[in-house]
Amino acid sequence: MTINIDQEAGAPLDLPYQEVIRDIVLASLDYEKCPYEAEVNIILTDDMEICRLNRDYRQIDRPTDVLSFPMLEFEQPSDFSHAEEDYADCFNPETGELMLGDIILSVDKIREQAESYGHSQTRELAFLVAHSMLHLCGYDHMEEGEREEMEERQREILLSKGYKR
């Protein structure tokens, strides 16, 4: 398992963020029964940079808490059965790991939302990583049923690691 974490924000989170990220990435993949060793890239940045990325990739000119860039296309969420059909596109040739994608997190939003929601920055970080991992596994929340399913999965992943609101 490769979890690349780059801290690019000016002021890093004052918590063991690498440990939290790794813990939730692994819990998410276990929960979704990913049958492969995987590679995930995570960047912690600030509001200015995530705003630029949000504008460039989604045409929304404001900062957001997280952006997810999945490498795989799923017919059904967490149906990894097609990955081997596109082996050259889906697996890192050097490690043999399934390349799931990239997650960009705003450290500024993690701080702001933790305070706004009345929970710790650690819990907010864990939530955003679980949320993004589900996106990398093919889940979305554009429709009500999808949103409810995704929220339940996030809740279960977080509870499995002891994160409560």
Segment 15-51, tens digit of pLDDT: 999 999 999 999 999 999 999 999 999 999 999 999 9
Question: What pLDDT, on the 0 to 100 scale, is given for residue 57?
Answer: 94
Grade residue 144 by pLDDT with cuts at 50, 70 and 90. Answer: confident
State the pTM of this model. 0.94
86 compared with 114, residue with greater pLDDT: 114
Q: Are 100 and 70 in contact (CB under 8 A)?
A: yes
DSSP letter string, the chain:
-EEEEEE-SSS--SS-HHHHHHHHHHHHHHHTT--S-EEEEEEEE-HHHHHHHHHHHH---S--SEEEEES---SSTT-GGGGGGGHHHHB-TTT--EEEEEEEEEHHHHHHHHHHHTS-HHHHHHHHHHHHHHHHTT---SSHHHHHHHHHHHHHHHHHTT---
Question: What pLDDT, on the 0 to 100 scale, is given for residue 85?
Answer: 82
Grade residue 88 by pLDDT with cuts at 50, 70 and 90. Answer: confident
**pLDDT above 80 for 165:** no
**pLDDT above 90 for 142:** no
Euclidean distance between CA atoms 62 and 57, whole angstroms:
12
Q: Are 4 and 63 in contact (CB under 8 A)?
A: no
Question: What pLDDT, on the 0 to 100 scale, is given for residue 50?
Answer: 96
Question: What pLDDT, on the 0 to 100 scale, is given for residue 86?
Answer: 79
Mean pLDDT of 139-145: 86
Euclidean distance between CA atoms 30 and 64, whole angstroms:
27
Q: Which of 10-14, 74-78, 108-112: highest mean pLDDT?
A: 108-112
Mean pLDDT of 56-67: 95
Euclidean distance between CA atoms 147 and 145, whole angstroms:
5
Angstrom distances, CA of residue 138 to CA of 71, 104, 126, 131, 150: 10, 17, 19, 11, 10
Question: What pLDDT, on the 0 to 100 scale, is given for residue 164?
Answer: 81
Euclidean distance between CA atoms 99 and 78, whole angstroms:
14
Question: What pLDDT, on the 0 to 100 scale, is given for residue 10?
Answer: 84
Grade residue 141 by pLDDT with cuts at 50, 70 and 90. Answer: confident
